[in-house]
């Protein structure tokens, strides 16, 4: 259910971008501070309604992240319950991404 920052980085470098959707489930004020390049903001507060936009994209791999990985686990569980099997939460969130992969991303 979880994916490490290094594995996500590998996927981002090797997978066809049209087959990988990275979703940031933090709130807009957090998004303004920092984000993973290419991610789409879908706040957890609107997540349940918003994932309907992907109903015809169940073959895509989804990786969801938040600040530390707790909210993204909730979002991942929700997507899996709706039939999105290739869905993962970024372990440690954007905080761990900043530490392990991209130190230019501000930590807060």
Q: What is the mean pLDDT of the chain?
A: 96
Q: In the chain, what are the domains? A: 2-100 (3.40.250.10)
Asked whether the beta carbons of 51 and 79 are under 8 A apart, the reply is yes
pLDDT of residue 58 exceeding 90, the answer is no
The pLDDT of residue 95 is 98
Q: Catalytic amino acids?
A: 66
The pLDDT of residue 3 is 98
- Tens digits of per-residue pLDDT, 1-24? 999 999 999 999 999 999 999 999
Q: Summarize the confidence of residues 29-51 as an average pLDDT.
A: 96
The pLDDT of residue 61 is 97
Report residue 79: phi and psi, to 5°. Answer: -65, -40
CA max distance for the chain: 35
pLDDT band with cut points at 50, 70 and 90 for residue 59: confident
């Amino acid at each position: 259910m979880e994916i490490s920052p290094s594995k996500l980085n590998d996927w981002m470098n090797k997978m066809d971008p049209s087959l990988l959707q990275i979703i940031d489930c933090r709130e807009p004020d957090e998004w303004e501070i920092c984000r993973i390049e290419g991610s789409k903001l879908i706040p957890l507060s609107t997540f349940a309604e918003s994932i309907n936009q992907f109903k015809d994209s169940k073959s895509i791999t989804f990786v969801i992240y938040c600040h530390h990985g707790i909210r993204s686990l909730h979002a991942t569980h929700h997507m899996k319950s709706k039939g999105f099997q290739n869905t993962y939460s970024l372990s440690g969130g954007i905080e761990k991404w900043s530490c392990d992969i991209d130190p230019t991303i501000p930590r807060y």
